[in-house]
A and B are shown apart, each in its own frame.
Chain A
C-alpha cells in the first residue's frame, strides 16, 4: 500500500524552540525521511508564501495566503510504501509536529 503522511504544524511552535531544540527537531524530520519505506516527500515554504487560485466562469481569481485560516498549517508530506496502516501510524507518531501541537493525517493513495 502507498500512503501520504500529511504534516500539519501549529504556527510558531518551531520558532518558539531554542536553537538546540530546533536542530533536534530537524534531525528527527530527517530521520523520518530516511526511514524504510519512505519513497518521497517535501517540506513546504511557510503558509505566508502561499497563493490561492480559484477559477470562476473562466476568470482566474488570485488571492494571497492559504485557502483557509486554520489552527494547523499544512507544512509538507512524506510518501510511504508499507504493508498496512499500522506501519504508517508508527512512522507518523515519530513526526515532530504530532507532539508540537500539530498532527499528521494519513491518507492512502489511489493506486491504479
Chain B
C-alpha cells in the first residue's frame, strides 16, 4: 500500500481501495485486538469503530502508509477509552499498562499475525457447529451479521443472538485464543477444516459468495500452516470443484452431470491452481481425507478419467473415513471401469436408504442393466428425497426417458 495512492483524484477508485483495505485487514486487525484485549466483544466493537473512523478520515486524507498499524492502534485506543469509561477500570487498566509497554510499536513487522489463533478460537469444538461457522465468517471473513444471516436464510436477529451467545461462551468458559499444542492439533485442525469446507459446500449449491469466502479462508489457512498437507488438500479440493461451477448448471439452472459437462466452461486457471496446491500437499506426504478427495477431483478434471485410479482412491478414502457415502462414490467409479453389475453389488451392500444419491445411483445402474421396472422405482424413491428444484427436474427427466 503506497501513501501516494491517497492523493488519487479519482474518488470512486479511492473508495474501492478503502473497501479493499478493509476486506484485507479486518481479520488481522480483529485477531490482534482479541489477542490484546482477551475479549471478543470488546475487540469487535473497537475494530468496528476504528474502521468507521478510517472510512471518514481516509476519504479526506488518503490511505495512510501502513493502514493495518493505523487501524490497530486506533482500535486499541478506542478500546482503552471504553475500558476507562467502564466499571472494571482498575483491573483492566492495569492489564493494559502492562501490555502496552511491549505493544506500542506499530511497525508492520512488529504486529504478529494472530489470525490462526482467532480461527482456532472460532472453530473450537465447545461451540455449536453453526456458531463456529457464523463466528468464522464474521471474524475471519469480515461478513456482517446481516450478510451471514442472509447466506444461511436465517433471521438477522436469530443470527445476532447466536453470535452473542457464542462470544459470551468464549469468554465465560475460557476458550483459549491459541494454536493448540501438537497433541491436540490433528483433531482441532480437522474441526477448522470442516468448518471451512462446510462454508464452501453451502456456497456450492449456488450462493457463490460463500464458496468464494471459503476459498479465501482456505488460502489464508494454507498460508498460515504451510506444512500441513490437509490445509493444502482442502484448498486444492475447493479450487478443483469451484473450477467446474459454471459447467454444473446449464440454461435454466438444469443440473449437468460431470460426464456431460461442457468442459470449455471449466476454469482452466483455477484447475491449474488446484493441481499445483495438490502437488504441494502430496509433496508434504499428505494422504488425509482432503488430499485424497482433491486427488480424485483432479482425476475427474482430466480429459480421459482414469477410473481404476479413482476407484482405488475412493477405496483408500473409505478405509480412512468408514463412510458408506464414500463407498457409494467408489461404486460409481467401479461402474465405469468394471461395469454396472460389479457396481450394483457394492451399492446393494450399503445401508443408505435415507440418502437420495443412493437411490439415484442404484436407479442409474439398474437402468444400464436393462432392469427398467426396478430402475423406475428407484428413481421415484430418489425423487421423493430430492431437495432442490434442478435435482427434481433432472430425476423426472430420467424417469420419462425410461
Contact = CB atoms under 8 A, between A and B. Distances in A.
Interface string A48-80: 000000000000000000000000000000000
A24 interface: no
A90 B178 CA distance: 15
A50 to B, nearest CB: 28
A27 B175 CA distance: 30
A86 interface: yes
Contacts of A31: none
Contact of B173 (A83, A90, A108): A108
B156 interface: no
Nearest to B184: A86
A44 B178 CA distance: 36
Interface string B174-186: 1110101000100
A84 B170 CA distance: 10
A68 B286 CA distance: 50
Contacts of B184: 86, 90
A43 to B, nearest CB: 25
| Max count, chain B CB within 10 A of own CB: residue among A3, A86, A88, A106 | A86
A1 B175 CA distance: 10
B174 A84 contact: yes
A86 B174 CA distance: 8
Contacts of B5: none
Nearest to A1: B174
A71 B124 CA distance: 28
Contacts of B175: 84-85
Interface residues of B, number: 10
B374 to A, nearest CB: 43
B172 A86 contact: no
A34 interface: no
A89 interface: yes
B172 A83 contact: no
Nearest to A86: B176
Contacts of B155: none
A40 to B, nearest CB: 18
Contacts of A85: 124, 126, 173-176
A28 to B, nearest CB: 19
Contacts of B124: 85
A84 B176 CA distance: 6
Contact of A108 (B174, B176, B178, B180): B174
Nearest to B120: A86
Contact of A83 (B126, B176, B180): B176
Nearest to B170: A85
| Max count, chain A CB within 10 A of own CB: residue among B172, B173, B175, B178 | B173
A86 B179 CA distance: 11
Interface in B161-203: 172-176, 178, 180, 184
Contact of B180 (A3, A82, A86, A106): A86
Interface string A18-33: 0000000000000000
B126 A89 contact: yes
Interface string A81-112: 01111101110000000000000001010000
Contacts of B172: 108
A3 B172 CA distance: 11
Contacts of B180: 86
A107 B36 CA distance: 25
Nearest to B188: A86
A94 B172 CA distance: 23
A89 B126 CA distance: 9
A85 B126 CA distance: 9
Nearest to A3: B174
Given A84-B175, A86-B184, 17 more contacts: A1-B174, A3-B174, A82-B174, A83-B174, A83-B176, A85-B124, A85-B126, A85-B175, A85-B176, A86-B176, A86-B178, A86-B180, A88-B174, A90-B184, A108-B172, A108-B173, A108-B174
26 contacts: A1-B174, A3-B174, A82-B174, A83-B174, A83-B176, A84-B174, A84-B175, A84-B176, A84-B178, A85-B124, A85-B126, A85-B173, A85-B174, A85-B175, A85-B176, A86-B176, A86-B178, A86-B180, A86-B184, A88-B174, A89-B126, A90-B184, A106-B173, A108-B172, A108-B173, A108-B174
Interface of A: 1, 3, 82-86, 88-90, 106, 108
